[in-house]
Amino acid sequence: MKLIISSVSGEPIYEQIKRQIRDAVLNGELKPGEALPSLRKLAKELRVSVLTVTRAYGELADEGVVRNIQGKGSFVMDRGNEVMREALETQIKANLAEVCTAAHAAGMPVADLHDLLDDVYDDIIKEQS
């Protein structure tokens, strides 16, 4: 996982770290049980304060994305975790809203949209098998 930090984005650095780690977990780049880089290692790599990384990891733990284990590090929580499931559902709803808006603009009947969703879902399941 490669984090990219911008000092001119206007978004606090700890928020950038949180967002990118959360996205990596949600898209499967970071797997359940996988260790995050140590606080000091990530701070050094990003050239930021250890306190900045500590805040990001702490807030991710509060959200249920990671679990901090004293003396061992921070680890990605299982995707079955309720908080992660809610985050995934929110992401899915946002994506479906975009799809529905585009389908409506194209004049696609909802039945056709359902068929298309079934086809795409089936294709993805086959790819992952």
* Each residue's pLDDT expressed in tens, for the chain with a length of 129 residues: 899 999 898 999 999 999 999 888 878 889 999 999 999 999 999 999 999 999 999 999 998 899 999 999 999 998 656 777 787 889 899 999 999 999 999 999 999 999 999 999 999 888 867
Question: C-alpha angle with apex 78: 77 to 79, nearest 5 degrees?
Answer: 115
- Residue 123, classed as helix, strand or coil, is helix
CATH of domain 13-76: 1.10.10.10
pLDDT attached to residue 83: 74
Within the chain, all domains assigned CATH 1.10.10.10 are found at 13-76
